[in-house]
Every structure is written in C-alpha cells, then in structure tokens.
Chain A
Amino acid sequence: MSQDTAIGQGGFWRDTGRTGIGSWIFSTDHKRIGLMYLYCVLGFFLVGVSLGLLIRLELIAPGPTIVTAQTYNALFTVHGVVMIFLFIIPGIPASFGNLVLPIQLGARDVAFPRVNLLSWWLYAIGAVIVLVSLFTGGGAPDTGWTFYVPFSARTTTNVSLAVFGVFVLGFSSILTGINFITTIHRMRAPGMTWTRIPLFAWSLYATAWVQVLATPIIAITLLLVITERILGLGLFDPTRGGDPVMYQHMFWIYSHPAVYIMILPGMGVISDIIPVFSRKPIFGYKMIAFSSLAIAAAGSAVWGHHMYTSGMSDLGILVFSFLTFIVAIPSAIKVFNWVSTMYKGSISLEAPMLFALSFILLFSIGGLSGLILGAAATDIHVHDTHFVVGHFHYVMFGGTGFAFFAAAHYWLPKYYGRRYKEKPAIVGWILMFVGFNVMYFTMQVLGMEGMPRRYYDYLPEFARLNLVATVGSWILVAGIIIVVWNLWRGLFRGEPFTGNPWGGATLEWSIATPPPTENFDEDPVVTHGPYEFKGAGVP
C-alpha cells in the first residue's frame, strides 16, 4: 500500500515488523485478511458486472448484436461463476466477517489465525484456477454456473479446470466456516453471553454452519463431474445406467443452502445498521437471532424446488413446495422486526442506512417472487425464464449486493480512519436503485411474458422491454462506478473519521480508529447488550 502515508492514522496499518506486500499476504491479522478478501471480492464483482453488461448489451435487440452464440454462452457462464463463487459467497462473511467478527466478540483474532490465512490463499488459488480455465484448454466453460450434466460431461470447453477451481474455493469456504464457529464458541469476551452477541455475529454463526454442512456435498458433486469427464464413470449418464437427475439433486442439496450463505450475512449487516441509524434498540433481538438459525435449518430441506419440471414425483413436488413456503416465515420475521425497529425511531438517512433500507425493499420483492417460484403450479409457467433471473438478482444483488455496500459505508471508515463524501454516495445510491429496478423488474415482466433465460436470441415482441432493461443496466453501472470511486477516494484521501460518529454500541466502536493490531489494549469485559447505545433511551 503506497498510500500508507495518506491513511496516516496508524493502527494495524502501521505497527508491524514487515512492510510491503509480504506484510499482507503472509499476515495472520484478521483485519488484513479481511481487507485482502475485500479487494479481491470487489475486483471480481467489477469483472462480473462488466460481463453482465455485455450480456445485456447482446440482448439489446433481437438477432446477433455484439458476440457470437458460443461467446454468449461463455459470457453468462463466467458471469454466473464469478458472481456466485468469487463474489457473493465469500463476499460478506469472508471480508466483513473477518474484519468485524473478532472485534465484535472482544477477541484479538479468530480462533485459528493461520487457518484463516490458508483460507485466503485457497481463495486466491481457486480464483486463479478459475481465471486460467477461461483462457486455456477448449476455452471458457459454456455450461451455465450450475454445470448440469450431461452437457458438462460432454462439452469440449475447459469445464474440468473451472470445476476444480470451484472445488478449491469450496475448501476455503469450509475452513472459514469452521474458524468462525470455533471463534464464536471459544473467543467471546467475559460477559458476552449468547444473548449479547451482535446480530451480525449471529448471522455469521448460522452462515458458518451452512458452510460446514453443505459445502462438502458440492465438493463431491464437482469431483464427480471431473471424474465423469476424465474417467467416464457413467454415474450420471443414462445410456450407462446412471441418472442425470441425481446430479441435480446433489447440486441443489448444496446450492440451495448456499443461497443462505449468500443472504444471511447480509441480513446480519442490516440488523446491525438499522437500529444504529434509527436510534432505537433492535426490536425482537432473540427472534432475529433465532430466525437466522431457522432459515439455515429449514433452508437445507427445500432444494427440490429447483426441479419441479425435471420429472419428480407429485408427492415430492408437494413436499418441497410446502417446505419452501415454510422458509418464508423466518425471513418475514426479520423484515417485520426491522420495520418495527424503525417505527417511531429518529431515522438518519445516511449512506449505510439508505443501502439498508433499499435492501429491505429489494429483498422483499425478491422473496415474494420466490414464492411464485416455490409454488409448483406457477413455477411450471415461469421456470427457466427471465422471471427467474429477475428473482435471483433481486435477492442476491438487491439483497446481498446492497448489504455489501451498506457494510462498506458503515464499517470501512472505521478501518481506514477516513471517510467518503456523503453527497456522491447518495447520488450513486439513487442511480443504483433506479437502474436496478428498471433492469430487473423489466426482466421479471419479460419472463412472465415467456422470454426464456440463457437464450442468445428472442422473438421480436420482446424487443421493447429488452431495450428498457439494457438501458437500466447502464444506469445501474453508472451508480456502481460512482459509489466505488467515492469509497475508494474517500478512504484514502477523505475527511478524518474518529471516535464513534454513528453512535454504535457494538464493541468495534469502543476501540481506537483504525483498530490497533491486537484490537484491544486490555481484554474487554462486556456489561451490556449490543444495541444499548446513547440516545436509545438507555443511559
């Protein structure tokens, strides 16, 4: 970091024996690891956004426009792989989790600092493997990020290497999960009872369990794809007695719970931000904490809703449909509690709060459209249409993506000792919000009207709405550019940020800014809950 002097305020940026890049990529300090994750994750987000922009550009008008059909297949595959495995799964837990979790618990580091560093290395190595797979072998994979057999077993593109990269990334995710569970069990400061754990930490706890329990299934499934390609085992090949639907079962046994790896940490961020910017303690702390666990548990039993159209038994469809609706309950509890927290609060609409508020709205739209997909009758109509694409972007991008930016505006100044400018942050947020809805809402309408997903070309009657959606993508990206640029500039050059300007009551706001290497000069003793701050009616 050549801007060291610009950051200036000391803390963990300064006091270390080593300097230069080695002081980062070999550091076991959770804050440095968190920042390394953050930069990688953000970098891949921007790569993924560029690819998304290209997808939308291709779809601006019917017929071929900017790329060939093969390139288009590679584009949506790589966009999906990058966004899912490199951005959104590690996004909040690995970056902000590492930055914030130990401090919120009153610990000096995570339970296994060296394993933590290993996780980051595995992430970096996995990412490099995925990137290499794009340019070597038979070219970028073209299977979609789900690697469905039989196509993934047959295509001549570089699927094996890409899948292996994802396998390594999964290993990294498992190790992070194990580390966080152990940290939360063993490293809490005296007085930090289970009901005094901040809700962000609670959400990471639930997430970590999903990471530990679900990721091994994807690991074996991915290994099976590789062996299928290399050795021709035939386990998923119907001509050899295998069953391709078994692949889908195994894939979604992981990937549906993985959706909660993606969204739970985002919910945790929101639960920490809303009370602080409403100047009120969180409403229903225990219900929020408990609903995280409930989501993690119930969310593990609903994978079949991805396969209504692939020839499941009617009873199976009924059961999975029922279970899917159950998951909506704990999610709705959270939304209800956030809204209740704001009721009669004195709300200050600063950047983190704006992103948090838009999270609630966009996540709710995404969740409600999820119910349309969860009901078998309606799903059969919109399955594999642009409605699905709209739905998961509302949840993943409108939800977790916006939570990611909320977290960035809320916590990063704490780690840099400098802050971004408020005005550009708000302008960027407005553009993102407007562009987002213009694009994805239009895509949902398109899907309702019958436009399939992953199609290179479409019928002329879809032309007008596709044009609207593509214009939306430009507004959205303009917003993203402003937000990222404003953060970047502000953190290195902005006004000093000291003390506790937001007025938070979690432990990270009680220590120096930026935090010193060991976080706490003296091990803290916790005497009150995480949301009992001044101005909240608590002395």
Chain B
Amino acid sequence: MSHQEKDSFGAKLGMWLFLFTEMLLFGGVFILYSVYLNRYPKEFGLGGHQLDLVFGATNTVVLLTSSLFAAMSVTAIKRGAKRLTLGLLSVTIGCALVFLCIKYLEWSAKFHHGIYPNSPKLIAGPPGESIFFSLYYLTTGLHGIHVVIGGILMTWTAVMVQKGILNSTDNVTLENVTLYWHLVDLVWIFIFPLYYLIL
C-alpha cells in the first residue's frame, strides 16, 4: 500500500475501534449500575421516579433528531451539496446545544431540591438512593462531556466543509465525526430507560 493515497476504509476501521473503546468506557458504568440495581432494586425504583420524565423524553427526541440530521449531512456532502451540508450540520450542532441546556435545567432543579453528590439529604437517606443518584450524575455527566466533545468536533468539521477541505471526494472525516455522534446518541438510548423509565 503506497503512502500517498488516502485509505478511507482504514480510517473508518480506526474510528470503529475507537468507538468500541468508548462503549467499553460506558460499559464500566453500566456494570456498576447492574450490580447495584441487583442490590438495591427498591431504592433504584424510587430514585427513578424522582427524575423528570419530560426533560428526559425531550432530550431523547432532540438527540435522535440530531443524529438524523448528521446522517443526512453525510449524504449531502457526498452529493457535493456544500450549502445543504452546512445547513444540516448547523441543525445538529443546534440540537447539541439544546440538549445541554435541558440537561442544565434538569440538574439545577435537582440541586435545588438538595439532590447532588455528597449532599446532606442523600447522606441522610437510604444508601441505595445515594448510590442511584451518584450513578445518575456520573453517567449523565460523562455523557454530557461526550456531547460537548461531539459538538466541538461537529463545529470543526463544519469549518472544514466551509473551507472546502472536506468535499464530495474526500469526506471520511465528516463520516467519522458523524459515527461518533451516533455513539453519543446510542449511549443515551441506554441511559434513558435505565434511569428514567426503570420500574
């Protein structure tokens, strides 16, 4: 294999491997979740009821929409439609921002009720409840960081599309960033039922 030509299959292979490691990273949290769910089923159920279903559901819709637009941007760039690609990417980035705003509202409402890591209220309550919320903040926080990173990557690719560095023939970077975004979405698809809908 000569060194000049770009190996886009190789690039995608690398990205898939990386996404695999990200799944395993979250997998660690989910292992903890399942162990503690097994130990404190009642408290986990009660904890889940305290989470705001409206916020959670809205965010699910927002993320799924963003994933759709991200996927369409890949098709668009392959057809050479630069303006359209940029438009679709902007919607994706917008959705990411909306998601983060909702998350902020959700967290601050909880904080307001004295539910945050190590808070006196949680320490006084049953241990299982404190574990539930610790895991909740841990998982959604880690996921939130990934949303931020994904948003930054999206913005960066949008700039490259704008400059024409990414175009109809050379677009594997956009594809890879979109894959990353799908992963962020996928992880949320697990978080939502496990924390909000459980029991």
- Using a CB–CB distance below 8 Å, which chain A residues touch chain B? 107-109, 111-112, 115, 174, 177-179, 181-182, 185-189, 212-213, 215-217, 219-221, 223-224, 227, 231-235, 240-243, 246, 250, 518, 523
Q: In the complex, are the beta carbons of A111 and B17 less than 8 A apart?
A: no
The reply to whether the CB of B117 lies closer than 8 angstroms to some CB of chain A is yes
Q: In the complex, are the beta carbons of B21 and A234 less than 8 A apart?
A: no
Residues on B with beta carbons closer than 8 Å to the beta carbon of A240: 123, 127, 130-131
The reply to whether the CB of B105 lies closer than 8 angstroms to some CB of chain A is no
Q: In the complex, are the beta carbons of A220 and B131 less than 8 A apart?
A: no
Residues on B with beta carbons closer than 8 Å to the beta carbon of A250: 28, 31-32
Q: In the complex, are the beta carbons of B138 and A182 less than 8 A apart?
A: no
Q: In the complex, are the beta carbons of A241 and B127 less than 8 A apart?
A: yes
Residues on B with beta carbons closer than 8 Å to the beta carbon of A232: 117-118
Residues on A with beta carbons closer than 8 Å to the beta carbon of B18: 174, 178
Which one of A186, A188, A216 lies within 8 Å of B21 (CB-CB)? A216
Measured between C-beta atoms, what is the minimum distance from A28 to chain B in Å? 11
Residues on B with beta carbons closer than 8 Å to the beta carbon of A185: 10, 13
**Interface members, chain B 20-36 (any A CB < 8 Å):** 20-22, 24-29, 31-32, 35-36
Given contacts A240-B130, A241-B127, contact A186 B10 (CB under 8 A): yes
How far is B24's CA from A221's CA once the two chains are assembled, in angstroms?
12
Q: In the complex, are the beta carbons of A220 and B25 less than 8 A apart?
A: yes
- Using a CB–CB distance below 8 Å, which chain B residues touch chain A? 1-3, 7, 9-11, 13-14, 17-18, 20-22, 24-29, 31-32, 35-36, 39-40, 117-118, 123, 126-128, 130-131, 134-135, 137-138, 142
Q: In the complex, are the beta carbons of B7 and A111 less than 8 A apart?
A: yes
Q: In the complex, are the beta carbons of B117 and A217 less than 8 A apart?
A: no
How far is B32's CA from A224's CA once the two chains are assembled, in angstroms?
11
Q: In the complex, are the beta carbons of B28 and A178 less than 8 A apart?
A: no
Subset of 11 A-B contacts with CB under 8 Å: A115-B14, A178-B17, A185-B10, A216-B22, A216-B25, A216-B27, A220-B29, A223-B142, A224-B138, A241-B131, A243-B36
Residues on B with beta carbons closer than 8 Å to the beta carbon of A246: 32, 35
Q: In the complex, are the beta carbons of A235 and B135 less than 8 A apart?
A: yes
Q: In the complex, are the beta carbons of B32 and A212 less than 8 A apart?
A: no
How far is B131's CA from A227's CA once the two chains are assembled, in angstroms?
13
Which one of A187, A220, A227, A234 lies within 8 Å of B130 (CB-CB)? A234
Measured between C-beta atoms, what is the minimum distance from B16 to chain A in Å? 9
- The 7 A-B residue pairs with the shortest CB-CB distance, nearest first, are A241-B127, A220-B28, A232-B118, A216-B24, A233-B134, A186-B10, A216-B25
Measured between C-beta atoms, what is the minimum distance from B159 to chain A in Å? 18
Q: In the complex, are the beta carbons of B131 and A235 less than 8 A apart?
A: yes
Residues on B with beta carbons closer than 8 Å to the beta carbon of A215: 21
How far is B166's CA from A340's CA once the two chains are assembled, in angstroms?
55
8 new A-B contacts, CB < 8 A, other than A216-B27, A242-B131, are: A186-B7, A212-B20, A213-B24, A217-B27, A219-B28, A240-B131, A241-B39, A523-B1
Measured between C-beta atoms, what is the minimum distance from A73 to chain B in Å? 27
Which one of B13, B27, B118, B127 lies within 8 Å of A182 (CB-CB)? B13
Which one of A181, A186, A235 lies within 8 Å of B134 (CB-CB)? A235
Which one of B26, B118, B127 lies within 8 Å of A231 (CB-CB)? B118
Residues on B with beta carbons closer than 8 Å to the beta carbon of A518: 3
Measured between C-beta atoms, what is the minimum distance from B189 to chain A in Å? 19
Residue of A nearest to B117 (CB): A231
Measured between C-beta atoms, what is the minimum distance from B36 to chain A in Å? 8
Residue of A nearest to B21 (CB): A216
Residue of A nearest to B43 (CB): A241
Residues on A with beta carbons closer than 8 Å to the beta carbon of B21: 174, 178, 212-213, 215-216
Residues on A with beta carbons closer than 8 Å to the beta carbon of B36: 235, 241, 243
Residue of A nearest to B15 (CB): A178
Measured between C-beta atoms, what is the minimum distance from B44 to chain A in Å? 11
Given contacts A232-B117, A235-B131, A240-B127, contact A112 B31 (CB under 8 A): no
Residues on B with beta carbons closer than 8 Å to the beta carbon of A219: 25, 28
Which one of A179, A188, A221, A233 lies within 8 Å of B138 (CB-CB)? A233
Measured between C-beta atoms, what is the minimum distance from A246 to chain B in Å? 6
Q: In the complex, are the beta carbons of A186 and B131 less than 8 A apart?
A: no
How far is B3's CA from A189's CA once the two chains are assembled, in angstroms?
11
Residues on A with beta carbons closer than 8 Å to the beta carbon of B123: 240
Residues on B with beta carbons closer than 8 Å to the beta carbon of A212: 17, 20-21
Q: In the complex, are the beta carbons of A216 and B14 less than 8 A apart?
A: no
Which one of B14, B27, B31 lies within 8 Å of A111 (CB-CB)? B14
Measured between C-beta atoms, what is the minimum distance from A284 to chain B in Å? 30
How far is B182's CA from A237's CA once the two chains are assembled, in angstroms?
35
Q: In the complex, are the beta carbons of A233 and B117 less than 8 A apart?
A: yes
Residue of B nearest to A107 (CB): B1
Measured between C-beta atoms, what is the minimum distance from A179 to chain B in Å? 7
Measured between C-beta atoms, what is the minimum distance from A462 to chain B in Å? 40
Scoring A178, A221, A246 by chain B CB atoms within 10 A of each residue's CB, the highest score goes to A178
How far is B135's CA from A242's CA once the two chains are assembled, in angstroms?
11
How far is B32's CA from A250's CA once the two chains are assembled, in angstroms?
9
Q: In the complex, are the beta carbons of A181 and B128 less than 8 A apart?
A: no
Residues on B with beta carbons closer than 8 Å to the beta carbon of A220: 25-26, 28-29
Q: In the complex, are the beta carbons of B9 and A108 less than 8 A apart?
A: no
How far is B39's CA from A322's CA once the two chains are assembled, in angstroms?
28
Which one of A177, A182, A213, A243 lies within 8 Å of B10 (CB-CB)? A182
Measured between C-beta atoms, what is the minimum distance from B9 to chain A in Å? 7
Scoring A109, A174, A182, A215 by chain B CB atoms within 10 A of each residue's CB, the highest score goes to A182
Q: In the complex, are the beta carbons of A221 and B28 less than 8 A apart?
A: yes
Residues on A with beta carbons closer than 8 Å to the beta carbon of B11: 112
Q: In the complex, are the beta carbons of B1 and A181 less than 8 A apart?
A: no
Residue of A nearest to B119 (CB): A232
